[in-house]
Structure 1
Amino acid sequence: MQASPLAPRALDAGWQCVSTPAGACETPDMLDAYTDWLDAPVPGTVASAHRAACVKDDALAQAYALSDHWYRVTLHATGKRRLRFNGLATIAEVWIDGRKLLESDSMFLAHDLDIEMAGETTLHICFRSIAPALAAKRGRARWRPKLAQPATLRNVRTTLLGHMPGWCPAIQPAGPWRAVEIIGESQASIDRVEMASSVDGSDGLLDVTVRFYHAQAPDDMRLECGNASTSLHWRDAHTLTGRVRVTHARLWWPHTHGEPVRYPVTITRSSHEDISLGDVSFRTIEVDRGPDGAGFQLVVNGVPVFARGACWTSADIVALDAPREKLNAIFNACRRAGLNIIRVSGTTLYESDTFYELADEHGIMVWQDFAFANFDYPTDDAFQRSVQLEAQQFLARTRRFASLAVLCGGSEVHQQAAMLGLPFDAYQQPLFTEQLPSIIAAMRPDVPYVVNSPSAAPGDRLSMPFGTRGGNTHYYGVGAYQRPFDDARRAQVCFASECLAFANVPDDVALRATPNASRPHEPRWKIAVPRDAGAAWDFDDVREHYLRSLYGVDVARLRYEDPERYLTLSRAVVADVMGAVFSEWRRKGSTCTGGIVWNLLDLRPGAGWGVIDVFGVPKSALHGLARVLQPVQALITDEGLDGLDVHLVNETAHETRARVELTCLRDGAVKVAGGSCEIILQAHSIHRINSSSLIGAFFDTAYAYRFGPRAHDTTHVRLTNADTGELLSEAFHLPDMSVSERRDVGLSVSLDKDDNGWALNVSATHFARWVHVADHHYYAELDWFHLAPDSTRRIPLVPRNGKVDHAPEGDVFAINGTRGASYR
């Protein structure tokens, strides 16, 4: 629909805003005393207007929601028009030529306003302080969470972003955060389009409803979807409907399991140009609960899918929106890393149509929480009506998107109540058990519903909602609770809709962009380090626990004696932890069917939860995930006295004849044991091969028997296509993960350029552990990887900030190397 000139037009130019004390101006006429109006981006927030006026980021962390803010713009038109306000944060009034015509008390609702225009019209939007709404009595809550402050935020339909101390910057949202649009400028203007797809046997069905703003003269119109076509019918003078059947439709898949096929949809007209309605897809998604009803596995088009991804926060916490180019880069990074799901948490907000369009395009599933988290929500009629409309509007807007894979009542509501000691019946809310499920059943029956994240299996009244062995859980055993790696197996995780939170250190270029906070000994470093409210520890402490337990590092001493080494090892250890846990969860015989890391994006510069930093550059954690999450993947698990198991994953729809080769190395270069075999990797399969069967004799690959000194320090597995020799995947295992031993690993690097841009060719004579690239003007598309001896990897370079105004110049390092290699 965006391609059609008949679509609603965004009113995105000419806006100004001004802030006033709460209640200072009751009407627009009282604004004459204020002269400090700012040019304001719309959609946007007061904070984004200040940012555009060059206010520094630190100064944007303000309680904007507790003041009043006025926006104004002048419109020029004649005749009947409809103004559409797609999101107003949060208590808002709309004034037309000095008359108040609309009030809103939810940032999640869209509003239409029909007006008769006669030349110049002045539009004001006032965003009132939410303080009175916070102070209003609305029933007594059964529990008070610490996550967001104040506790009465439960009464206000606004995002918790900006209200969560220790989690994110205190940039409270206020302003027209979603587009303001005008409809009716043409006689054929389209008011709205609804498209819903379904699968019928091998065919795809598409139902379309197009509503025109003005009454239309009857015209012959046809609906085309791919190569299928059908006549459309006029329900009335404004409404056009039709259904088209696409025979033998190609289905939409997560990119890890197939192609995310999309079909263009067009309305053809005999007397006018065609109207493009965008793209749709066909797919089925179900949840397999297993024979005992306690399981949780996403099944797409009849195929079980191991879902892996990260939780979404916001690509721009200041504006609460981001341009398509920025979102596209993020989805590209997810796809390269092998992620196939993003969870939009209930602590955040509902994302834009562009977000879902890109998810469809890239084959990334979306687990969407409704915007509820932690609280015991009101039950009065006004609140229920608001929630009803909120859910209906969201589902109508996103009905066309195949990527919407799970709908969830909210985040940690059941968990919060249970952890505070309430019994099962005390934390059940009709909002989650009755109201939302009924709306979904009517509007998106093709999307599974989960009552909460986390939650026990349906009907399970005895298990804790955060129990690991059924339903979906938030697993932080390895991570926040500092459990050893074997806890990832012992916990018997079914599905982790949150997991593995660390204070992930970005690269040195990102750190240097943060004044006075680029090193952990500097006081401002801790501002960016997340913590749970009331906890005596933060997520630096979590990361440092694994530095001590896995790497054998005296953390405090390393931090003050060699801060550069401390930062390097901090980056490496989270990649090791991420890789170890997901190798465990993806292995043959695992109980786990998916894991979603907390979080995808940082919300400010520094060592945040994100696996992508605030500048859009992937961190070591994402590269560590990419090493174990590809559709065709070799994985290694340590089975103790049984040695090492090699797991060969083929998630694609194609059978592959492969060759697997295992090599044990001493001193990172000398082969002391090994073996290989050929194997047919069936489509959608996992195979397990023990190291002993590959070697053909006893060899202590896990160094579990300890009959004398270790005979090797590295195990390397190569998976190749047996017909072409193409490398499909690699995996490495170190029986001792300490970092005390370093040697010259013979790193070398050359720089070249082709039609795709600059790239590095990196080689090593010995096993190189966690190879990484440092370049002020570029970052490595493939970074933080292991390099086998006498092998070469080609590393594409990506210009930072999209600017190609410098030639690459930097260094390549390995954490077990005594020297790096330079290029320029």
Structure 2
Amino acid sequence: MGTIGTATGLAAQDLWPQRLDTGWQCVSTPAGACASPADLPMDGWLGAPVPGTVASARRAAGLFDAAHPPPLAFDDHWYRLTLTGTGKRRLRLHGLATLTEVWLDGTRRLDSDSMFVAHDLDIELHGSATLALCFRSLTPALAEKRSRARWRPRLVSPPTLRNLRTTLLGHMPGWCPPVQAVGPWRPVELLSDAPDAFDTVDLMSHLDGDDGVVTLTLRFVHPHDSAANRASLNCGGFVSSLQWRDAYTLTGSVRVPHAERWWPHTHGTPTLYPLTLQLDDEHPITHVLGSVGFRRIEVDHGADGAGFALRVNNGTPVFCRGACWTSADLVTLSGTAEQLRHAFALARAAGMNMLRVGGTMVYESDAFYALADEYGILIWQDFALANFDYPTDAAFSASIDREASQFLTRTRRFASLAVLCGGSEVDQQAAMLGLPVSMRTQPLFTRQLPAIAARERPDVPYVSNSPSGGVWPFSTNTGITHYYGVGAYQRPLDDVRRSQVRFAAECLAFANVPDDATLHDAPGTMHVHDPRWKAAVPRDPGAGWDFDDVRDHYLQTLYGVEPARLRYEDPQRYLDLSRAVVAELMSDVFAEWRSAGSSCGGALVWQFQDLRPGAGWGLIDATGRPKSAWHGLAQTLQPVQLVMTDEGLNGLAIHLLNERAQPLQAQLDLVCLRDGCVKVASASRAVELAPHSAERIGAAECLGQFFDFTHAYRFGPRAHDVTIATLRDPASGRILAEAFHLPERRASECHELGLTVTAGRAGDSWQLVIEAKRFARFVHIVDTHYRAAHDWFHLPPNRAVTVPLIPSAQLVACASNPAFKANATCVAPAGEVRAINAISATFYG
């Protein structure tokens, strides 16, 4: 149901559906208090943004407490709007959450029981009419007697939500705030009454050999005389005439010879071709239809048939890395255009090339998938199903069929859609409760959804569930897993290699601490034992631990500090080390998975962004600021990358990665330092990498003599503190990639580093120049009014690094919480630079 477009030409007019996004009011009533609009109260109405939710209407009126949201799903809520016009019109409701009645002038015209389907309603206007939407309480439906489930997940409350087609967001205690989805969360439109008004625009693209082919099916609201109306489709300058299938429908295709491919941005250019439609040769009107890309995606299961990796276009392997998407704004469930663009810009800057929209979330907007196309980000898309043993009755099956078909038709044009997945942790939930395969199989995932996917998006691979594939569906060495060995299961770092992960659709959940600037803006979260801090820390329902405890485990085992004592004696250092350790864990785990010869085809961190202020799972906090975990990943996920892995008695392995389509010639420098500044070993060599290739070089091979890089032999005291491997452009000396290895990670010693910081102008912006006389470990920049473009990085001695500063004011449009918008004024930078091995901070400004 494409509705995005513009018209240009001699007789240009708006033929696209008109969004009904202003003039709405809403009111809340007790469940069942008003049987019809005639019973509604006269007062208490609020202005309501649409698309939007009851929560967003209350937030706009200053009546919503995000920290203590009311249980909105268990009252009734009414929306109303006055429609004006004459004649027959078509109303399109793209998404109503969740049990909804649609009334027109007091007559009930439509019922909906799924927030994931769109509805058309043909109406007739005689001047003005009142459209009313009633969103009924879920309580009666949740209490209905239905077929008994074979298992009940602890994730969701109440468990009878399995019977309703609504998001689980807001119903997952332990990690998701109880902001429940109620209201017209997707657009409400009135189709144009112009003679040439568009009804639906269905676009799809595919590759035919080297050529790209775009197919259009355009349906009009009113019938046309096919003999008198001609049309053509233009794709990047290649034009083809369209044909009339019937009086309402134009169809046809255009071929683009030797089409340039759409690539994930890490491996090439996400090329998109502009599309335009031209109607009526005598008085031409040109309509912009957006853009399409051409790509081919296949699954490589490996020589043993047990793997999972994507190959794109000409069979190029792609290591998929990124994170699991939650929501740009939990209150509206969609976020603004600025919020979405900010998120995609951060994903690309970190070197991510995939985001997963999981089964516990919602189907995202067209704008989301269009940005994924533009930024070259692959999308792993779950259907909105998770954990439950779902009903098998005909009505539920028909609802799923409509939901899945509508979603795939709506997103058929987007090249970024890369994997379709039946749902999240359904097989895992049943298997962990001890059920055999025969008792946990659901035809919904093994027959119904794959058939719909094959019919509507045959170019996108389908998997039944995430995780799936092994003897246990969550086995790490077969198929798709959710890897929390390093993480919730508190396994040592060498478990990453031992687990032989093939593809982790979820991994590495930590309670990631936001920066001080965010903690300052969110009162109460600064103190880690404040009840408000702990309320924002994710936890599994019923568990005697939370994800603060998980992070603290690695603080103790990797850094050799006692977390409780450090938190008591030096809370600021506790926070800084907590930030550093997750950056280190993220970087080290992905270095292992990206290493040459690794069996891993991809991994997605749980989660991309926080749903509320605090130490949540997000790599991005509630203000839109990247956390230390994001910075750690950004230093490991780039297309041209160098990583090192500890091979014990075999020393260090240096892995050179070139995912670009061009060959790479570079210089590899290796240096080992004692006391952070004394060179005790060094070597250099020229390297050449083929396109889309990886090479492994032993550090000992570079040096040409014995050196205990990993301090595994322990012939006397350790000879060095850090090994630095640097990949440089041989002509300019520019650093292409860099990696660090510390044979001893303890964080108990601090030194005078000789750190200097200078703030200066760079055109219209500011930057810092930072230098140290001794190796600085996890350099961190703290500035109330700016965030550092690069942060939480290691700094070799006697090398100045320039760090651009981004004004916090630029976060204003990206923050979903209005509390973060008060202090975003741009002034001259003033703050401090820290390092976790520095005795004290260095101040500037």
How does the TM-score come out when normalised to structure 2?
0.96
Letter in 2 for 1:502: F
What's the offset of the Cα at 1:752?
2.3
Distance in 1 (alpha carbons) for counterparts of 2:480 and 2:524: 41
What's the offset of the Cα at 1:375?
0.3
2:836 to 812, 815, 820: 815
> What is the aligned partner in structure 1 of residue 815 from structure 2?
none
> What is the aligned partner in structure 1 of residue 88 from structure 2?
80
2:602 to 581, 594, 597: 594
Letter in 1 for 2:464: V
Letter in 2 for 1:21: P
2:299 to 287, 292, 299: 287
Which stretches in structure 1 are left out of the alignment for 5+ residues?
Answer: 458-462
Q: Alignment partner of 1:817: what SS?
A: coil
Alignment check: 8 A CA contact 1:657 1:723 kept: no
Q: Alignment partner of 2:6: what SS?
A: coil
Deviations 1:760-793 (A, max 9, x none): 2222221111111111111111111111111122
What's the offset of the Cα at 1:756?
5.6
Letter in 2 for 1:291: A
Alignment check: 8 A CA contact 1:80 1:184 kept: no
Distance in 1 (alpha carbons) for counterparts of 2:148 and 2:159: 11
What's the offset of the Cα at 1:821?
2.5
When residues 794 and 804 of structure 1 are mapped into structure 2, their CA distance, relative to the original with a 3 A threshold, is farther
Distance in 2 (alpha carbons) for counterparts of 1:556 and 1:2: 57
State whether structure 2 residue 357 is matched by structure 1 residue 348: no
> What is the aligned partner in structure 2 of residue 313 from structure 1?
326
Within 5 Å, give how 1:430-449 maps onto structure 2.
430-449=443-462
1:171 to 171, 176, 179: 179
Distance in 1 (alpha carbons) for counterparts of 2:793 and 2:266: 21
1:420 to 418, 433, 442: 433
Deviations 1:216-260 (A, max 9, x none): 343222111012111111112221111111001000000000010
Distance in 2 (alpha carbons) for counterparts of 1:504 and 1:435: 39
> What is the aligned partner in structure 2 of residue 229 from structure 1?
239
Letter in 2 for 1:820: A
State whether structure 2 residue 20 is matched by structure 1 residue 8: no
2:210 to 202, 217, 229: 202
Distance in 1 (alpha carbons) for counterparts of 2:760 and 2:261: 40
Q: Alignment partner of 1:477: what SS?
A: coil
Letter in 1 for 2:422: G
What's the offset of the Cα at 1:9?
1.6
Distance in 2 (alpha carbons) for counterparts of 1:734 and 1:664: 10
Alignment check: 8 A CA contact 2:423 2:466 kept: yes
Distance in 2 (alpha carbons) for counterparts of 1:242 and 1:744: 71
Distance in 1 (alpha carbons) for counterparts of 2:539 and 2:67: 21
Which stretches in structure 2 are left out of the alignment for 5+ residues?
Answer: 8-13, 811-823
Within 5 Å, give how 1:473-512 maps onto structure 2.
473-512=481-520
Alignment check: 8 A CA contact 1:16 1:40 kept: yes
1:30 to 28, 39, 54: 39
1:62 to 63, 70, 75: 70
Equivalent residue pairs, number: 818
Alignment check: 8 A CA contact 1:224 1:265 kept: yes
Distance in 2 (alpha carbons) for counterparts of 1:50 and 1:320: 14
Shifted more, 800-809 versus 61-70: the winner is 800-809
Q: Which consecutive segments of 4 or more residues in structure 1 shift more than 6 A?
A: none
State whether structure 2 residue 317 is matched by structure 1 residue 304: yes
Alignment check: 8 A CA contact 2:16 2:192 kept: no
> What is the aligned partner in structure 2 of residue 729 from structure 1?
737
2:339 to 318, 326, 344: 326
What's the offset of the Cα at 1:388?
0.3
State whether structure 2 residue 633 is matched by structure 1 residue 621: no
2:288 to 257, 270, 276: 276
Alignment check: 8 A CA contact 2:240 2:254 kept: yes
> What is the aligned partner in structure 1 of residue 814 from structure 2?
none
State whether structure 2 residue 266 is matched by structure 1 residue 253: no
> What is the aligned partner in structure 2 of residue 460 from structure 1?
none
Distance in 2 (alpha carbons) for counterparts of 1:744 and 1:266: 63
Alignment check: 8 A CA contact 2:808 2:826 kept: no
Distance in 1 (alpha carbons) for counterparts of 2:834 and 2:220: 61
What's the offset of the Cα at 1:34?
4.3
Distance in 2 (alpha carbons) for counterparts of 1:725 and 1:791: 13
> What is the aligned partner in structure 1 of residue 28 from structure 2?
19
1:401 to 414, 417, 420: 414
Distance in 2 (alpha carbons) for counterparts of 1:435 and 1:183: 32
Deviations 1:686-718 (A, max 9, x none): 111111111110000100011111110010011
Alignment check: 8 A CA contact 1:184 1:214 kept: no
Distance in 2 (alpha carbons) for counterparts of 1:629 and 1:196: 31
Within 5 Å, give how 1:623-702 maps onto structure 2.
623-702=631-710
Letter in 1 for 2:827: H
When residues 660 and 355 of structure 1 are mapped into structure 2, their CA distance, relative to the original with a 3 A threshold, is same
1:220 to 224, 227, 230: 230
Alignment check: 8 A CA contact 2:809 2:826 kept: no
Distance in 1 (alpha carbons) for counterparts of 2:844 and 2:201: 54
Deviations 1:298-337 (A, max 9, x none): 1111111000010011111111111111100000000000
Distance in 2 (alpha carbons) for counterparts of 1:229 and 1:333: 36
> What is the aligned partner in structure 1 of residue 800 from structure 2?
792
Q: Alignment partner of 1:503: what SS?
A: coil
When residues 130 and 94 of structure 1 are mapped into structure 2, their CA distance, relative to the original with a 3 A threshold, is same
Percentage identity across paired residues of the two chains: 59
Shifted more, 76-85 versus 249-258: the winner is 76-85
Distance in 1 (alpha carbons) for counterparts of 2:704 and 2:731: 24
Distance in 1 (alpha carbons) for counterparts of 2:535 and 2:831: 29
Shifted more, 480-489 versus 289-298: the winner is 289-298
State whether structure 2 residue 477 is matched by structure 1 residue 469: yes
What's the offset of the Cα at 1:56?
4.5
Alignment check: 8 A CA contact 2:466 2:480 kept: yes
> What is the aligned partner in structure 2 of residue 262 from structure 1?
272
Deviations 1:700-743 (A, max 9, x none): 01000111111100100110122332210010010000111111
Deviations 1:614-661 (A, max 9, x none): 111100001000111000001010000111010000000000111111
Alignment check: 8 A CA contact 1:255 1:362 kept: yes
Distance in 1 (alpha carbons) for counterparts of 2:499 and 2:540: 23
What's the offset of the Cα at 1:523?
2.0
Alignment check: 8 A CA contact 2:102 2:108 kept: yes
Alignment check: 8 A CA contact 1:47 1:60 kept: no
How does the TM-score come out when normalised to structure 1?
0.98
Q: Alignment partner of 1:786: what SS?
A: strand
Within 5 Å, give how 1:560-575 maps onto structure 2.
560-575=568-583
Q: Alignment partner of 2:219: what SS?
A: strand
Within 5 Å, give how 1:499-578 maps onto structure 2.
499-578=507-586
Distance in 2 (alpha carbons) for counterparts of 1:187 and 1:795: 57
State whether structure 2 residue 188 is matched by structure 1 residue 180: yes
Alignment check: 8 A CA contact 1:50 1:60 kept: no
Q: Alignment partner of 1:715: what SS?
A: strand
Distance in 1 (alpha carbons) for counterparts of 2:46 and 2:550: 43
What's the offset of the Cα at 1:3?
2.8
Alignment check: 8 A CA contact 1:367 1:405 kept: yes
When residues 761 and 150 of structure 1 are mapped into structure 2, their CA distance, relative to the original with a 3 A threshold, is same
> What is the aligned partner in structure 1 of residue 785 from structure 2?
777
Distance in 2 (alpha carbons) for counterparts of 1:272 and 1:823: 61
Letter in 2 for 1:331: F
Distance in 1 (alpha carbons) for counterparts of 2:793 and 2:151: 46
> What is the aligned partner in structure 1 of residue 820 from structure 2?
none
Deviations 1:188-208 (A, max 9, x none): 221111111001111101101
